[in-house]
Amino acid sequence: MPRPLTRRNAEGEIYKRLSTVDDDIAQWETVDAKIVASTAENLDYRAGGYIRHEVLLHLLRIAGKDRRSDDFYALFQVFMARVRHLIRPWLARRPGNPDELVMETCSAIAKLLAEDAADPASDEVDYFEVRFAKALYFFVLDRLEENERWYSMHQSSEDLVDNSEFIDVTSLDDSRGLTGPEKAALGAQIIRAFHALSDEERSILELRYLKGVKTSSKDADEETISKKLNLSERTIRNRLTSATKKLSKFKERQ
């Protein structure tokens, strides 16, 4: 039988699942996780064999807490596909880039699940197992408010500092041997790190470190970041330094 919920509501009462959800959990928890994941790809709740969000989330959480990494990762992928499917229409109505908002929110959900899996005693996502769509909606609203507060407090610095252009990302590059929850956490960390950057900073980092475009050149015919983005060399150096600082601070917080 499913493990009991532990989180309490404002009246001090423990949240309860619908009895039909408990019945579905009892049915699906004996089925191989890969079959569950394949079945859960069906997003039409009116179709036969549809697996409710609450059921899928419970099976995912138990796989994580039981350290069944392959099962966790299989269920995690289809669960996150459902999350994206649900939140995209909500975020499409918000100002800004909906794809970035979806990615930002999904990274927060992935981090929450990874932390939950790492702590067998955690009950942080209990309410999601009771009324998933409602819980997710309020989670999205909280994330949007938090995001707006964060960006208002972290403006890009215009101060000219040293010309160091080295970013240590080696710790993010070795994902071999990680468990399913650890992979989810690593992916969430990387996404969150780069969403701390402005669009301009991300563009400059991509040109400099992924495409190898120089910041400046004595050759007037050589393409540089400055020419490509129509920004001064000083601005390019400032943005690189600002981005490096943000990534370093993010790494220190992990």
For the chain, the domains span 19-153, 197-253
**76 and 184 Cβ atoms separated by less than 8 Å:** yes
For position 76, what pLDDT does the model report?
Answer: 94
Predicted TM-score of the model (pTM): 0.59
pLDDT tens sequence across 76-125: 999 999 999 999 888 887 766 778 788 888 888 998 898 888 887 888 88
Across 52-61, 91-100, 143-152, 168-177, least confident range: 168-177
Question: Would you place residue 167 in the very low, low, confident or very high pLDDT band (cuts 50, 70, 90)?
Answer: very low
pLDDT tens sequence across 171-185: 334 444 555 555 555
What DSSP assignment string belongs to the chain? -PPPP--B-TTSPBP---HHHHHHHHHHTTS-HHHHHHHHT---TTSTTPPPHHHHHHHHHHHHHTT-HHHHHHHHHHHHHHHHHHHHHHHHTSSS-HHHHHHHHHHHHHHHHHHHHH-TT--TTGGGGTSHHHHHHHHHHHHHHHHHHHHHH-PPP------------GGGS--TT--HHHHHHHHHHHHHHHHTS-HHHHHHHIIIIIS--BS--S-TTS-BHHHHHT--HHHHHHHHHHHHHHHHHHHHH-
Residue 37 pLDDT greater than 90, yes or no: yes
Token representation of residue 23: 């019945």
User: What architecture is domain 197-253?
Assistant: Orthogonal Bundle (1.10)
